[in-house]
Structure 1
Amino acid sequence: MCNKKYYDSVLKCPICGNDFFNVGRGRVKEYCSIDCKNINSFLNSIESKLIGISFKTESDKKALKSRIWSMSNLITFKISKDKK
């Protein structure tokens, strides 16, 4: 089965979940905004960096995990007016 994304089709952003239209010519959009695209780039970058870290102590590892957890708590949920 063909898994093409056609023009004027409704797509879902993999970062925020918003629906958006794929309009225009050229490459198919993957994200609803430049912000979501940049967040995805950041996540890919940090993920590859975390894989290569070797910690000196367990407390160093826990400190980084704690900082990442604190950052994740900055994510908020907002209901857009068009979705009820």
Structure 2
Amino acid sequence: MPDARIKNEKQYQALLEIGYSKEKAARIANTPDAGEKGGNAKPYDLWTKEELYQQARKVGIPGRSYMNKKNLIKSLRPN
């Protein structure tokens, strides 16, 4: 039965099947641009600290308000 809290159920299930945890799969599937293909974004190294912070906020990275730019990039890369 689909979970009403998951915005992109198809992507959520696919992520679970390849081994993502429920928490991480839900976080990814609930981002506003979940499931959209891109590849046009500039590398994190070129983002401002504020842009990195907002992205970290979107994906729900804990402790982001205490992070510097380097740590924000390090936390965002595996997401």
Q: Relative contact order, CA 8 A, sep 6+: which one is greater?
A: 2
Indicate the structure (1 or 2) with the bigger Cα radius of gyration: 1
TM-score (norm 1): 0.26
TM-score (norm 2): 0.27
More strand by share: 1
More helix by share: 2
